[in-house]
Structure 1
């Protein structure tokens, strides 16, 4: 019986969903943390934790299963050689999801998913990824500031009025 065996569909076909999760898992393995929507992060967590489980096993069959799902051999090498050994003493819970707040364009809830046991990230890497570095409060404050700014049509009118004032002076 399939009791409580639901899959998050993400409004995609099965093949598209599988490709999406494989690409998200590859990005997570490569970068250590990614910024995505909350629904995708929640759908990615079980997949990523299964990949760590394969990496911790480390046998040939596990490697072949990881390559079959991820379809990127260099990412699988990084998974088995760098990412999985960091979690060798942990029994589960390899990923952390941190909510960021709503995205500016469509108000989709955003989140950062990252490895719990990843090494500390230096400040240069954080500076290169400013959207990941933002705190949920900072995102809300930025949204409030953006709401206070005039709309593009009003901006043009404001520019014309300002130019007219300068010309009058």
Structure 2
């Protein structure tokens, strides 16, 4: 478990806190969402995320480590077989804490703690990363043209389009137009 914080424990001694956090984690894995106080949720988050990391590894040693924290085999089975595959691609942040307000009796800050089981969407690369990959992509294009040139003659389409637009802009004669049409039909073949 994570290093205990300084000051009073949640509900008594360190052993009681450890058992309480284990029970909260079991309830979280069973119900996928629990309502608790903010302090308990903040203390539970590292414990629950560590147990999910054990489950993602999935080997016998990590299953036994998780059983050492949560003694209930059914909860561990659900953690390893149901929850771990759902968060397999996620690299962290398996839990979400949402504030709900204050409890009526003692004005304690209440939160909803839930597992984040939505599929991960890959982030788009930033403009800096795309600028770095653009020269690499430009370097790969000539290599592709060389391999195509070995198999069959291929003309550059953009170059012929530019030449055609320049001829029209300059006022080319009618004799040049059939030559351009012949070049375009050769490219299509």
Q: Normalising by structure 2, what TM-score?
A: 0.58
Q: Which residue in 1 is equivalent to 2:73?
A: 73
Q: How far apart are 1:105 and its partner, in Å?
A: 0.9
Q: How far apart are 1:6 and its partner, in Å?
A: 5.1
Q: How far apart are 1:76 and its partner, in Å?
A: 0.2
What RMSD in Å do the two structures reach over aligned CA positions? Answer: 1.5
Distance in 1 between the 2:73 and 2:5 partners? 27
Q: Which residue in 2 is equivalent to 1:57?
A: 57
Task: Give yes or no for contact 1:58–1:80 (8 Å, CA) kept in 2.
Answer: yes
Instruction: Find runs of 4+ consecutive structure 1 residues off by over 4 angstroms.
Output: none
Q: Which residue in 2 is equivalent to 1:104?
A: 104
Q: How far apart are 1:12 and its partner, in Å?
A: 2.1
Distance in 2 between the 1:32 and 1:48 partners? 11
User: Gaps spanning 5+ residues in structure 1: where?
Assistant: 120-169
What do the CA deviations read for 1:119-155 (whole angstroms, capped 9, x no partner)? Answer: 9xxxxxxxxxxxxxxxxxxxxxxxxxxxxxxxxxxxx
Alignment: residue pair count: 115
Q: Normalising by structure 1, what TM-score?
A: 0.65
Q: How far apart are 1:117 and its partner, in Å?
A: 1.1
Distance in 1 between the 2:85 and 2:12 partners? 33
Q: Which residue in 2 is equivalent to 1:84?
A: 84
What do the CA deviations read for 1:1-55 (whole angstroms, capped 9, x no partner)? Answer: xxxx552632520100000000000000000000000000000000000010000
Question: Per chain length, whose mean CA-contact separation is higher, i.e. which structure has more relative contact order (CA < 8 Å, sep 6+)?
Answer: 1
Note the 1:142-157 alignment, pairs <5 A: none
